[in-house]
Amino acid sequence: MTKMQTSYGFLWFFGGVAWFFALVAFVVWGPWTSKITPPETARTFFSAAQYNLLYNGRPRFDAQHPNPGFVVSAAQKAKLANWGLNDCVGTDGTAAQDTSFLSGACFCENSPAVKAVFDTGWAVQPSNTLSTITLSVVGLIILGFLVFGDVPGRTNFMTTTYFFPLCYAFMTVALGPLSMALHLGLHSWGGWFDSISLYVWFGFVACYGFYRFILALVGTTADQCPRWTWILFGVAWLLCILLAAGLTTPGHGDSDLWYIGLGAAALVGEGLLWLGNVAGFARSPATSFAPDGADHWWSKLPWDTGGRTWFASAGIMFFLALAIWVLSFTQHPLCGPDSGFQGHAVFHSLSAVAAGFLYKYYRHEGEVSVA
């Protein structure tokens, strides 16, 4: 892998920018994701009692502690579903909301969601929508450093070929619009695209971990790895995405189970590399990349700016983001429906930072002290 020519670098970078704007355009104007205009007004949709509660403050409505009598009827839920809205809209901020660990709420902002969909704003959840752009910004930063920067001296699968880092950069750029798809209009299909963003990311991490582990077992070095193995990686990654997405279309399957399953697979893949190094059965240049043949899953630089630091930072950042995600559902501690602070928006931003740290770990993998 040699430094990319500047002309090619510009082509790749502006290709990434075009990729971002194309996906945003699809989300903003796509019939399955854009903000809908309900075919009836709030006054005709809600009962007189519901309307007074939501719009006239009699009594004052509090999404965190909803009026026990405020429940969306079965007929109203059927209308919302026919309009293509996510099923969370019918329960978010109501007395019928599930407040368990993984609740069916719509992530708090402008709760109750059943009222928010009638608002005239450009998005049902503006803060949650805009915050997804941080994911794409990190992806473009990764892409910029990749195509314009020097090639690192270390040898691993992210530094011997542009295939894997370009996949990671374009994937991270796509995470923003995919996540935006839900919050813009709270469409049922928008929620599906939002789920795909996690299938894409967890699927990549899982497949990349197992890919490196398997090649470590057979003793294939990163710089001598045949290109057909890249195809196998891409097929495996695509199958993870398509299988999860195909089985969790609106009204079918549980996306939370796929999040957990693919997330666990991602941890197992990295864990196998670490255990293989410790036990000695995966000691090969494919995982050590050390000139002296030593085996280093962690970085061994004296100031430790490489593997261990970046991997730990990514993990801490992601689990912090996950904790905020859980605590920010409607009727959960960090929820402020009308607040300028939206925990779910923070979740997006911290996840973006975690994605950047994970990329740094991949690029620094196998770093050793030159002393």
Q: What is the pLDDT of residues 342-355, one digit of tens each?
A: 999 999 999 999 99
Do 299 and 364 touch, CB atoms closer than 8 A? yes
Residue 299 has pLDDT above 80, yes or no: no
Task: Return contacts of 149-155, CB within 8 angstroms, 24+ apart.
Answer: 149/3, 150/3, 151/1, 151/2, 151/3, 152/363, 152/364, 154/289, 154/364, 154/365, 154/366, 154/367, 154/368, 155/221, 155/222, 155/223, 155/285, 155/289, 155/366
> Per residue in 201-228, pLDDT tens?
999 999 999 999 888 888 787 888 899 9
Q: Domain 6-33+127-364 belongs to what topology? A: Rhopdopsin 7-helix transmembrane proteins (1.20.1070)
Residue 291 has pLDDT above 50, yes or no: no
Residue 284 has pLDDT above 80, yes or no: no
Which residue, 45, 65, 58, 91, is CA-closest to 337? 65
- Segment 106-127 shows an average pLDDT of 94
Residue 116 has pLDDT above 50, yes or no: yes
Residue 77 has pLDDT above 80, yes or no: yes
Percent of all residues in the chain with a pLDDT value above 90, rounded to a whole number: 67
Which pLDDT value is given to residue 275? 76
Which range is most confident: 125-134, 245-254, 285-294, 301-310? 125-134
> Per residue in 166-201, pLDDT tens?
999 999 999 999 999 999 999 999 999 999 999 999
Q: Which range is least confidently modeled, 89-98, 99-108, 239-248, 347-356? A: 99-108
Do 113 and 184 touch, CB atoms closer than 8 A? no
Q: Which two tokens stand for residue 347?
A: 């979740």
- Segment 304-318 shows an average pLDDT of 78
The model's pTM: 0.90
Percent of all residues in the chain with a pLDDT value above 70, rounded to a whole number: 89
Provide the residue ranges of all domains of the chain, joining segments of one domain with +: 6-33+127-364, 42-122
Length of the chain: 371
Which residue, 271, 300, 297, is CA-closest to 283? 297
Whether residue 126 has a cis bond before it, omega within 30° of 0: no
CB atoms within 10 A of CB 255: 20
Residue 28 has pLDDT above 70, yes or no: yes
